[in-house]
Amino acid sequence: MKELLRDALTDSLKSLKEQYDVDLSTIKIEVKENKEKDFGDFSTNLALVLSKKLSEQPKKIAEILLGELDKKEFIDRIDIAGPGFINFFLSQTSRTEILKTVNKEKNKFGFSQKKEFESDKILIEYVSSNPTGPLHVGHGRGAVFGSVLSSILRATGNQVDEEYYVNDQGRQVEILSLSVWLRYLMIFNQINLFPNNCYQGTYIEELAEELERDYGEKFSITKEIENQISQMLQLDMEEEALDGLISQSKEALNESFDEIKSFALNRILKNIEGDLKDFGVKHNSWFKESTMFRADKDKTPLIYKALDSLQAKKQLYEKDGALWFRSTDFGDEKDRVVKRENGATTYFASDIAYHANKYDRGYSKIINIWGADHHGYLPRVKAAMSALDEDTDKFEVVFIQFANLIRNGKKLSMSTRAGEFISLSELIEEVTSEAARFFYINRKGNQHLDFDLDLAKEQSKDNPLYYIQYAHARICSVFDKLEENKKSYKESIAIDSLDQLNSEQEIEIQKLLSQFPEVVIRSAANYEPHLICYYLRNLAGTFHSYYNNEKILVEKESTLQARLFLISAVRQVVFNGLTILGISAPKTM
């Protein structure tokens, strides 16, 4: 409908151009929906925008435009109001068009295909938590956000890949391996002390037990090494001492250290993947940091390839024995180390190579979902991409704020350090996966979120998810009742009876339905999934109100069929919206 109005305005703009001889090609025609029904269904501020360019009174321009606007059949009336707004009043038949559209497009309504441009190939990287422990509630919000955003971007006609970047390299993973091994040795009573800066969770002990079950005594040690290790062990160790212990362990175990490492990593990753699956989150690609260090088919490993090309562009220099990247030349606050004095590359170096690889894979958009605590990290990654002559406009990062869990009106405190965290799987078990998804996404991502556990479990109108799902169930139930009454729904009669739908609420519902495609597009363009939640809440509310006000199963056949047609469109749109959010639309509740 908006399109039709815009087309009509474009035509009248052309003739205006002839009169004034001014270039109007840059003018953007905006057609807006009105909230106040006294002002009509739609309006445009075109005359106001033009007034400066033409140095003419807006009202006069509006009149000229209006004169040029042929009275289209879908328009009932056109007014000029206020300082120069042009208001359009739609005819009754054009309003009900939307119902036919929904009825025709069904599951596809609100989903668009891109015509003018080729669809974008988009990579979304999200979650990417370190594989050193199970996912906790802190990861939940980013997980749902990424998964719903992917779904929204697909709904608007793009091809989307969802990727998890696995940091299976570096110190944290070595501490993990060490932690598992030490717990394992404790099973054999070879040591009896566990350092505080090793990983504390009970899952480490479980991994150690599994290790013992699968490998028996394979990783136990001689008395001599036992003494060496015990001597180094302290409850409170310096970080350096811990590194010493890691090298000592590597020496004692040789290749077996890597065996423990990959055992622990695989178990934890499997666990993470399972938790995500239970949460309705599925990545189709798992990119391991370690793959960038492999020299496949005599090719230079990706990490060195990236560093070499920075080197070739003279963006690296040596200082204090380390290798630095001139990120300040590209707007970063200070230069960053890519290779340490000890020869090891940094995490940042991996990230440079990883992001360069994303570009190499030919994506037209590269989106990262990061926790808000990483925001200081963005300038250096951007700097690196600029230095490599990549188009940084393709690269976008969405920062997600942390969520507080609220129970009995009080914040739950969490400390990762002491292993006191609520795991994601515990949360899902408590409130169900769907409620968790909805509550995480029901807020702008860059906003702090209070997640009220009690509310998420509540089955009443206060819980927006139940309220929305209930609208769907209610409509289904009306159709069930219809059959019980030995009546049936006949679309052909309905389509001929749409003139029955002209109460205020019926018009309001049709307006809302026609907004759905725009809401999806807007939430895709701005990366704002919460808009869909708010939209559905709104639609459900309008329906519940209508339901209470007007009996649907009435005697008069034309009215009955028309109302059924209307609510079945509502049901379809609620269903489509929930589908995008990855949430089910139950038939009964």
Partner RNA sequence: CUCCUCGUAGCUCAGUUGGAUUAGAGCAACUGCCUUCUAAGCAGUGGGUCGCAGGUUCGAGUCCUGCCGAGGAGGCCA
d(CA 267, CA 238): 28
Residue 552 CB, nearest distance to RNA (Å)?
Answer: 4
Question: Site residues for RNA, window 103-142 (CB under 7 A)?
Answer: 130
Question: Site residues for RNA, window 16-35 (CB under 7 A)?
Answer: 30, 32-35
Residue 168 CB, nearest distance to RNA (Å)?
Answer: 9
Token pair listed for 536: 């559905």
Write the CA distances from 138 to 141, 257, 399, 404, integer angstroms. Answer: 7, 30, 13, 9
Question: Site residues for RNA, window 44-63 (CB under 7 A)?
Answer: 45, 48-49, 51-52
Residue 231 CB, nearest distance to RNA (Å)?
Answer: 25
Phi, psi of 99, rounded to the nearest 5 degrees? -65, -40
Taking the least distance from each CB to RNA, the nearer of 221 and 578 is 578
**Any idea which residue has 């929204």 for tokens?**
152
Considering only residues 467, 489, 490, 579, which one is a binding residue for RNA as defined by CB under 7 A?
Answer: 467
Q: How many residues does the chain have?
A: 589
Residue 101 CB, nearest distance to RNA (Å)?
Answer: 19
Q: What is the 3-state secondary structure (H, E, C) of 40-77?
A: CCEEECHHHHHHHHHCCCHHHHHHHHHHHCCCCCCEEE
Taking the least distance from each CB to RNA, the nearer of 314 and 334 is 334
d(CA 136, CA 555): 55
Does the footprint of RNA cover residue 169 (CB under 7 A)?
A: yes
Size of the site for RNA (CB under 7 A): 92
Taking the least distance from each CB to RNA, the nearer of 191 and 246 is 246
d(CA 239, CA 434): 42
Does the footprint of RNA cover residue 447 (CB under 7 A)?
A: yes
Token pair listed for 250: 């590597």
Residue 47 CB, nearest distance to RNA (Å)?
Answer: 9
Q: Binding mask 478-497 vs RNA (x if CB under 7 A, - otherwise)?
A: x-xx----------------
Token pair listed for 558: 């034309």
Does the footprint of RNA cover residue 213 (CB under 7 A)?
A: no
The number of CA neighbours under 13 Å toward the Cβ of 573 is: 34
Residue 444 CB, nearest distance to RNA (Å)?
Answer: 3
Question: Site residues for RNA, window 547-586 (CB under 7 A)?
Answer: 547-553
Taking the least distance from each CB to RNA, the nearer of 175 and 185 is 175
Question: Site residues for RNA, window 499-528 (CB under 7 A)?
Answer: 518, 522, 525-526, 528
Question: Site residues for RNA, window 348-377 (CB under 7 A)?
Answer: 348, 372-377
Residue 42 CB, nearest distance to RNA (Å)?
Answer: 8
Q: Return the sign of the alpha-carbon dihedral for residues 413, 417, 421, 425.
A: positive
d(CA 169, CA 131): 10
Question: Site residues for RNA, window 324-343 (CB under 7 A)?
Answer: 333-334, 336-337, 340-342
Angle at 243 between CA 238 and CA 244, to 5 degrees: 95
d(CA 331, CA 146): 28
Residue 31 CB, nearest distance to RNA (Å)?
Answer: 9
Residue 199 CB, nearest distance to RNA (Å)?
Answer: 13
Angle at 198 between CA 193 and CA 201, to 5 degrees: 95
Residue 297 CB, nearest distance to RNA (Å)?
Answer: 27
Taking the least distance from each CB to RNA, the nearer of 34 and 190 is 34
Taking the least distance from each CB to RNA, the nearer of 39 and 74 is 39
Pick the stretch among 143-151, 212-220, 298-306, 537-545 that binds RNA (CB under 7 A): 537-545
Token pair listed for 198: 């090793």
DSSP secondary structure code for residue 240 in this structure: H
Does the footprint of RNA cover residue 413 (CB under 7 A)?
A: no
Strands 85-90 and 42-44: antiparallel
Considering only residues 282, 321, 407, 417, which one is a binding residue for RNA as defined by CB under 7 A?
Answer: 321
Taking the least distance from each CB to RNA, the nearer of 36 and 255 is 36
Does the footprint of RNA cover residue 412 (CB under 7 A)?
A: no
d(CA 165, CA 382): 18
